[in-house]
Amino acid sequence: KTSYLSLSFCMRLLLLSLCMLLSSSLLLRVTNSFSPTRATTRFFYFSQIRSNIINNMSNNNNNRILTIVTPETLSLEVKDPVNPQALEQAKAILAELRPSENGPVDASALQKVAARLGDIATEDAPLLISKETCRAAFDDLSEQDRTALVNIHNRIQTFAQAQRTSITDMEVNVPGGKAGHTVSPCTAAGCYAPGGRYPLPSSVLMTAITARAAGVDTVVLATPRPAPITLAAAHLAGADYLLCVGGAQAIATMAYGMDYSSVKIPKCDVIVGPGNQWVTAAKSIVQGYCGIDMLAGPSEVLVICDETASSKVVAADLIAQAEHDVVARAILVTTSQQLEQEVNTEVIEQLSKLPEPNQSTARAAMKQSFSVLCGTLDECVQISDTIAPEHLEIHTANAWKIGQQCRHYGGLFVGSGAAEVLGDYGAGPNHTLPTGGTGRYTGGLSVFDFLRIRTYLRMEDTEELSSKECQDMVQDTITMARLEGLEGHARAAEQRLRK
């Protein structure tokens, strides 16, 4: 089989090998004759030479689609997920929808905005889709489609219910009484499902099923121009209301509520689900008035590999992420130069066979995608933690051990069988995950987004209130209040002293 490496590329590989041998030899010498600090400096210098050669190889080879990036040039990239222009447009839409600053969305205003932005055909078209219509769409599915939808629903529900039972009410003894917390769901949840480039019934299931598993009373679903499969998913997930609007106008309606004919859409306590830049901008406006899950940016996957990984599988997973959106990002981090080259070749070959418009979308996404060559798997983990990817796949020997070393990510997929796409379509865990490095401090959508953990303090028994432990606590409170200059606090505590 003819090698895909050009002669010039082979020469560069040879040069790289010679430089690495030279750097190793010189490193041994400087270690013997210089301090550890100077030896480290010299090693970094030779490491930089290696990185520059790799970059030259990448830049001069026409058979590349994944740009090679050196570990030394990577840094944490946290971008504001809210587009400034989209934010201004979202503010204008929200102002147009609410005649009163503190009132609900006006239904007639929403119909005008929805028609203008293409959510509905005309201004007098309905904004709500009935439960009967959703049920009919479910019944009209083919046996294969209906079975798949039901199976996915059951797996998501099983996982979400297990999450819910993992946290319970609790109570402990404190001086003078009891303290504890209760776990209770919010009353109404708003669930957004995108409906732009592709219908996403999976987002309907991921959001609405999770809200139901948490125990939410009312689920409001919003999605623009819903396809029949989306209506079927809404039925299966148990949505109470289905708004056929999208963008900022959908977020506003779920946040502020709306009286529509004889139907009253409630104000939602929390709004969840991925969306476009206007959805994200609107969520940034309403957060505080209601809760939100996150401000999501472009989707991303990072795959850590060693020489044991399958280049065909890894390439397919990178492409699967890239076809999401032109601004999606697919990242390969590996210890194997040969595997990196094979994956790059596989991506080119597999992309050429992808249908449109998927192929064009994935090719555009590859412009901001890249690969990183590392010396060790520990370095691969460090690179991953720096990026904190939305999806993190581990394709190595001892994959679970490597996965446990990783600290920052949205969702973890361990082993060659744990495809990120299985997570997208309902293996169990939720596919709504933090992007843009925010996995450093938050996790993905779960039942916990719909739950409130509220604490209480009970001190009713007169005998316990007079105990030494309780009176010591009161005295500590008085002392701390006066240290902070809050005399009213101190005097309120003094009312609990027993003479």
Q: Which residues are catalytic?
A: 390-391
Nearest CA among 300, 306, 301 for reference residue 401: 306
User: What is the 8-class DSSP label of residue 167?
Assistant: S
What would the DSSP string read from start to end of 52-63? HHHHHHHHH-TT
Nearest CA among 247, 286, 282, 254 for reference residue 88: 282
List phi, psi (to 5°) of 452.
Answer: -115, 125
For residue 252, how many other CB atoms are within 10 A of its CB?
27
Tokens 């005998």 belong to residue: 463
Report the C-alpha gap between 145 and 175 in whole angstroms: 59
Pairing state between β 218-222 and 128-129 = unpaired
Report the C-alpha gap between 247 and 254 in whole angstroms: 11
Our CA angle for 205, 328, 146, nearest 5°, is 25
3 state DSSP class of 418 = coil
Element (H, E) at 98: none
Nearest CA among 423, 425, 427, 443 for reference residue 435: 443
Tokens 């010299």 belong to residue: 42
Let me know: does 289 contact 209? Beta carbons within 8 Å.
no
Report the C-alpha gap between 222 and 216 in whole angstroms: 16
| CA distances to 76, 304, 410, 482 from 83, in Å | 20, 31, 22, 47
| CA distances to 73, 81, 276, 396, 406 from 78, in Å | 15, 9, 18, 28, 19
Q: In sequence order, which ranges of 273-426 are alpha helices (DSSP H)?
A: 277-286, 311-322, 337-352, 358-365, 377-387, 399-405, 420-424
- Here the tokens at position 396 are 């190595």
Report the C-alpha gap between 66 and 55 in whole angstroms: 12
List phi, psi (to 5°) of 270.
Answer: -145, 145
Let me know: does 283 contact 273? Beta carbons within 8 Å.
no
| CA distances to 91, 322, 360, 476 from 357, in Å | 32, 12, 6, 68
Secondary structure E strands in 52-150: 67-69, 128-129
Residue 360 makes CB contacts below 8 A (sequence gap 6+) with: none
